[in-house]
Amino acid sequence: MNKNGFSLLEVLVVLAVFSLLAIVSTTVILLSVRGTKKSDTSSRVRQNVDHAVSIIERQVRNATSISSCPNNDPNILDYFDQDGNPTSFTCFANPVDGYIASGSAKITADEVIVESCIIRCVPATGGSSSPPYVDVLISARDKSTTGVESSVFSAQTQIYLRTY
């Protein structure tokens, strides 16, 4: 007897194999896209926080003096810039729309949320051998991502003033 075509069982096995391959391929592609998005957002947040820290570092290092050391509010640092003009850094940290400002302008992008921030002046200890410094700690995340794709980046530095 001459048989033409495939049996129902053979067709079902082939469909199952191709379905399994499609599921595995889709999962791999989704994980790859998710990893790429997390990497991109992490990079964007890291660059933004590094930029904010570099601005704070440059301005504080060149400041003529800090208004109050230790500062009463660890979210506000008042200082006199290299020209003797009063200015400040302010940290508005919250999980919805936190940011860091210099004077009246934001120095963090709208896409980044500053979740916590400390800009604290630590007074000199041990006479003139240990000058005062400003301790900066910033923790931020991307505004548009949540869950597994979200990541928090933190940066910390100590800034010694050149004028002491």
Cα separation, 24 vs 44, whole angstroms = 30
Would you say residue 2 lies in a domain?
no
Helix (H) or strand (E) holding 153: strand 152-160
3-state secondary structure of 73: coil
Does any domain span residue 1? no
What's the pLDDT at 2?
61
For residue 38, being part of any structural domain is answered with yes
**3-state DSSP call for residue 100?**
strand
Confidence at residue 128, expressed as pLDDT on a 0 to 100 scale: 60
Q: With bands split at pLDDT 50, 70 and 90, how would you rate the model's confidence at 163?
A: low
**Is position 83 within any domain?**
yes
The pLDDT tens digits for 18-74 are 999 999 999 999 988 888 888 888 888 899 989 999 998 888 888 888 888 888 888
Per-residue pLDDT tens over the stretch 73-93: 888 898 888 888 899 899 888
pLDDT at 138: 92
Instruction: Render pLDDT for 120-139 as a digit per residue (tens, 0 to 9).
Output: 988 877 666 677 888 999 99
Label residue 15 by pLDDT band (50, 70, 90). very high
Please report how many Cα atoms fall inside a 13 Å half-sphere around the Cα of residue 138, on the Cβ side: 33
Number of Cβ atoms within 10 Å of the Cβ of 79: 23
Specify if 66 maps to a domain. Answer: yes
Triad 77, 81, 85: Cα angle to 5°: 100
Residue 23's pLDDT is what? 95
Share of the chain above pLDDT 90, in %: 15
117, part of any domain? yes
In a domain, 3, yes or no: no
Q: How far is CA 136 from CA 49, 105, 121, 133, 146, in A?
A: 11, 19, 9, 10, 26
Express as a percent the part of the chain with pLDDT over 70.
Answer: 94
Residue 137 sits in which domain range?
Answer: 8-160
Reading the block at residue 93, the tokens are 């940290």
Q: How many domains does the chain have?
A: 1
Residue 92 CA to residue 32 CA, distance in Å, equals: 35
Q: Residue 143 pLDDT more than 80?
A: yes
